Amino acid sequence: MPLRARRDAAPAAAEPAGARIARRADLDWIRVAAFGLLILFHVALVYAPYDWHIQSTHRFDWLREAILLTGPWRLTLLFLVAGSALRLMSLRRTTAEVTQSRLARLMPPLLFGVVCLVPLQSWIEATDKGFWSDGLLPWVAQEFSLAGLANGVPVNHLWFLVYLTAYTVAILPLMARPALMERLGAGLEAALGGWRVLALPALYLIAIRLALYPFFGVTNRLSWDWYNHALSLGAFAFGFLIVTREGIWRELEQRRWTSLGLAAGSLALVMLQEWHPGGGAFFGIPRNAVFGVAQWVVIAAILGFGSRHLRAANSPVLRYLNEGIFPCYLAHQTILVAAVWLLKPARLPALPEALILTTVTFGGSLLVYEIVRRVPLMRPLWGLKPLDGDARAAIGRALLRLGVFAPAFAAAAVVLATLAYPGFNHARQYLSELGGPTAPLPLIFNVGVLAAGLMAGLAGVGFGLAITRLTGAKLTGVFTAIVFILAGYGLVAAALYPWPDPRHLAINLALGIQLAPVLLLWALRPVRDLPRLKWFLAAAFVAMALLTVITKHLLMPGLVNDANVGWWERSYAVILVGWVAVAAYLLERRLEMGAPEANRA
């Protein structure tokens, strides 16, 4: 019998009534709240008397106890919710489909984060602690050299994704045996009736805390973290098995107030034991026992109240926040570490500094989410599902509009910077001098160039999507997007490192945008209703090529000299960025009409 048939035959009769649900709003709210607490927890570590990645000049001993309000249970709850979500997914998909979906959702963000997000954190940490005195790029080269890889590449906060991936793989054999899942779930439901729903999980947590924690601690290294595996994999499997057992949820709801009272008392005792010098007496057995109790009764209270009041509390706000968890989780620690590093030299008072860090971390994470959710090529790297065709077309058009306005934005910056620079000579001086040390207000020009660079990079993604939408030429679309992204990077680098900093020469990457008209012409050759755009692209390419030859003194040497170099540069710049606005406008109009019928098919 095929696998799909076995799945449909066995659990359909055995699953409890109401088990076949798409989502549980209460679990989504719990997940959102727990990740919000995670960000606050990491901000607290900046001030805690522990060795974290980077810390403020302010330290507070009382945070040693305060962070225990969430420390014992927060991650355990997240693993339980993750296991529950996996089970709900398995109710409507085969094991193969679940495996493919989970790995496609987890692996790209994990690899992207390790390569692109964590190195900035580790470089800042090494620089701040005096282990490294060179730049970021040499650090990345060292980290990913053979010697660096042999020592292991830091994953920092992404250890959670590593464990989640490993636990998903570990539970696949159970997922493929629905009858066994049913027996285990029914056994748990019978065992956890009445007061046992609070006692038995707490006893398990106490047992592993006493037996494993003193020897292994918590390492967050997959190969040697046996207490954490007993805790987190246990919670993951527990959530996987109980999410469809309504009897257990009824017990949790009925004992939610008891759980809340026990949670308040046990957390207070955990904090008291941490504070008091005698808290570790009797070989730490009382402390570990209370810790295990606190872990479960807090989780039981949250699950009980959530199930009682939030099961049907679905809303657009929840859907927005729930989708944003993954990108916010990926981005938040890098943003926080960078913010602490940049803010630390200012030596602000503790309260304003903490408020700024909290605001920047939450706001920056949501800003990242707002950006990446609109860029189809970036969505899988940040843990978001791919968009459908209509959504991609709408986003492509929105990004092309950035291409329409980017040249105008850059031109406005030049005009304003020129007005703020009395005596600026357009014939003899380069545009870069508007943002250099001789300019009275260089910030005007540099901010304008920075914004134009970001807009150009995003517009390039829009050009790539337009090509794919109109012609299906994905490879050419990717190459076109890359050309624009490199050009945007060159402009951003030039703004961050004004002339005469040697790094300002990265602006030469912007010259690569001259290749974009050729790529567009090649891609659009099957599209018959864009003749004016094609002629315009050809003319723009010829004009840029001619100006390149002249300004590089390869033709008519002496025509460009110190007395007129500025005007040549202005002409070059107008064509170099001006054609983008025209091409973006015409393509956006064409996308509004829809893709050709043959291509849609």
Q: Would you state the structure tokens that stand for residue 265, as one six-digit string?
A: 């008392």
Q: Which string of DSSP letters, residue by residue, matches 109-137?
A: HHHHIIIIIHHHHHHHHHHHTTS--S-HH
Place of tokens 């300004």: 551
- Tell me whether residue 22 is in a domain: no
Q: Of 116-120, 206-210, 279-283, which has the strongest mean pLDDT? A: 206-210
Q: Are 409 and 468 in contact (CB under 8 A)?
A: no
Please give the average per-residue pLDDT across 277-303, as a whole number.
92
Distances (CA, A) of 178 to 6, 7, 9, 10, 191: 8, 7, 10, 7, 20
Q: Helix/strand/coil (H, E, C) string of 50-94? A: CCCCCCCCCCCCCHHHHHHHCCCCHHHHHHHHHHHHHHHHHCCCC
Q: Rounded to whole angstroms, how far apart are CA atoms 578 and 571?
A: 10
Whether 561 maps to a domain, the answer reads yes
The 10s digit of each residue's pLDDT in 218-260 is 999 998 999 999 999 999 999 999 999 999 999 999 999 999 9
Segment 366-385 mean pLDDT: 86
* Report field, pTM of the whole predicted structure over 0.75: no
Domain-embedded: residue 477: yes
Neighbours of 365 (CB within 10 A): 24
User: Is there a domain that residue 445 lies in?
Assistant: yes
* 516, 483 Cβ separation under 8 angstroms: yes
Residue 584 contacts residue 575 (beta carbons within 8 Å): no
Which residue is associated with the tokens 């309260």? 351
- Looking at the structure of the chain, the number of domains it has is 1
- Is 140 a domain residue? no
Residue pair 464/377 in contact (Cβ under 8 Å)? The answer is yes
Residue 570 lies in a domain: yes
pLDDT band at 135 (very low <50, low <70, confident <90, very high): confident
pLDDT score at 553:
63
DSSP assigned state of 145: S
Judge whether 580 lies within some domain. Answer: yes
pLDDT, the chain, mean: 85
- For residue 99, name the pLDDT band (cuts at 50, 70, 90): confident
The predicted pLDDT at position 14 comes to 40
Of the given ranges (208-222, 245-259, 477-491), which has the lowest mean pLDDT? 477-491
Tell me, what DSSP letter sits at residue 212? T
- Give a yes or no: residue 482 inside a domain: yes
Span 397-456, pLDDT tens digits = 778 887 888 788 788 888 888 888 888 787 777 777 878 888 888 888 888 888 888 888
- The one-letter amino acid code at 514 reads Q
What is the C-alpha separation between 298 and 70, in angstroms, rounded? Answer: 9
Q: What percent of the chain has pLDDT over 70?
A: 93
pLDDT greater than 60 at residue 21: no
Domain residues for the domain of 533 are 390-600
Cβ contacts of residue 409 below 8 Å, gap of 6+? 448, 451, 452, 455
- What pLDDT score was predicted for residue 22? 55
Distance CA 327, CA 373 (A): 9
